[in-house]
Amino acid sequence: MMQFIVILMAQIILTSCFQQSNSHTKDSAQVDSSEGVAFQLAFTTLNNECIYCHHHDHWSNYTREADWLTEDGLVIVGSAVDSLLVKRIHGCGGTSVGRQMPESPAEQLTDQECASITSWINSLEQ
Q: CA 118, CA 41: separation in Å to the nearest integer? A: 11
pLDDT of residue 91: 83
Question: Which residues are within 8 A (CB) of 40 and not within 5 positions of it... i.e. 6 or more apart?
Answer: 31
Q: Is 126 exposed, middle or buried (0-12, 13-18, 19+ CB in 10 A)?
A: exposed
pLDDT digits (tens, 9 = 90+) for 82-101: 999 999 898 887 677 777 88
Residue 17 has pLDDT above 70, yes or no: no
pLDDT of residue 21: 35
The pLDDT confidence band at residue 7, using thresholds 50, 70 and 90, is low
Using a pLDDT cut of 90, give the percent of the chain over it. 33
Residue 78 has pLDDT above 80, yes or no: yes
pLDDT digits (tens, 9 = 90+) for 26-65: 456 677 778 899 999 999 999 999 888 887 778 888 889 9
Domain ranges of the chain: 36-123
Q: Taking a C-beta distance cutoff of 8 angstroms, is the pair 75, 57 a contact?
A: no
- Greater pLDDT, 97 or 80: 80
The pLDDT confidence band at residue 4, using thresholds 50, 70 and 90, is low
